[in-house]
Amino acid sequence: MSVTKDDIIDFLYDEARMLDEGRYDDWLALWLKDGHYWMPLDYKQTDPLNVTSLMYEDIFMLKVRVERLNGARTFSQKPKSRCHHVLQRPWVDEIDLEAGRIRTTTQMHYVETRLDEQMLLALTAQHDLALIDGRLRIANKRVDILNCDAAFGNIQLLP
């Protein structure tokens, strides 16, 4: 089994498209079951557990998060938010299939909007990917917000 750099880059673009189009079931299916989505609170944060992060969620809590978006009594999503990712071409930092390790870094601009408000965030996403049965999967994802230490209003979707 092999994977090319183009396959990996296509995978990352497809993931962003799923988020922008709200195809969350497809998105959750990309994840390995013990993966975590981590969004640090501090610049260059190293510890996800013993200091506060903006997010550090396992698959169950990610599922709660996306299920909630469509709930009948999800008041902060009436009306719904929309989001938009603009990706710079990802860096494929490492492909080591014997060790089962693929690492990428992707810089992007993220726009989220609801009612008359629109917010722009500059992000760096680091993916740990794995090739399972010929299919790329997300083992872990870290998303750093450039101004992570600024005060934000609601960030409701998935940057």
Partner 1 sequence: MTRYTGDKAAVAALVQGHQVHRDVYIDPEVYRLEMKHLFANAWIFVGHDSQTPNKGDYFTTMVGDQPVIQVRHTDGEIYVLYNRCPHKGTKLVIDRTGNTGKFFRCPYHAWSFKTDGCLLAIPLKKGYENTGFEQTDAGHGMKSVGAVMNYRGFIFCRLAEEGISFEEFFGGSLSSIDNMVDRSPAQRLEVAGPPLRYMHKCNWKMLVENQTDTCHPMVAHESSAGTAVRLWKELDMPEGTPLPPAMEIIAPFTSPYEFFENMGIRTWPNGHGHTGVHHSIHSNYTEIPGYLDKLSVTHGEEKARAILGENRHNTVYFPNIMIKGPIQQLRVFIPLAADKTLVESYIYRLVDAPEELTARTAMYNRMINAPTSIVGHDDLEMYERAQEGLQADGMEWVNIQRLYDPDEDFEQESVLNGTTEKQMRNQFHAWVKFMTHDMPAREAAE
Q: Which residue ranges make up the site for partner 1 (CB under 8 A)?
A: 39, 41-42, 45, 49-56, 58, 60-61, 63-65, 67-68, 71, 73-77, 149-156
**Half-sphere exposure (Cβ direction) of 72: Cα atoms closer than 13 Å:** 0
Give alpha helix (H) positions in 33-137.
59-69
Q: Cα–Cα distance between 41 and 152 in angstroms, integer?
A: 11
Looking at the Cβ atoms of 102 and 143, the one nearer to partner 1 is: 143
Looking at the Cβ atoms of 97 and 122, the one nearer to partner 1 is: 122
Looking at the Cβ atoms of 68 and 89, the one nearer to partner 1 is: 68
CB neighbour list of residue 97: distance below 8 Å, 6 or more residues apart: 1, 2, 3, 131
Min CB(145)–partner 1 separation in Å:
10
Min CB(46)–partner 1 separation in Å:
11
Looking at the Cβ atoms of 118 and 154, the one nearer to partner 1 is: 154
Looking at the Cβ atoms of 134 and 153, the one nearer to partner 1 is: 153
Q: Cα–Cα distance between 57 and 52 in angstroms, integer?
A: 12
The residue with tokens 């009612």 is: 115
Min CB(12)–partner 1 separation in Å:
21
> Phi and psi dihedrals of 73, rounded to 5?
-115, 35
- Find out whether 35 and 100 touch, Cβ atoms under 8 Å: no
Min CB(92)–partner 1 separation in Å:
28
Min CB(148)–partner 1 separation in Å:
9
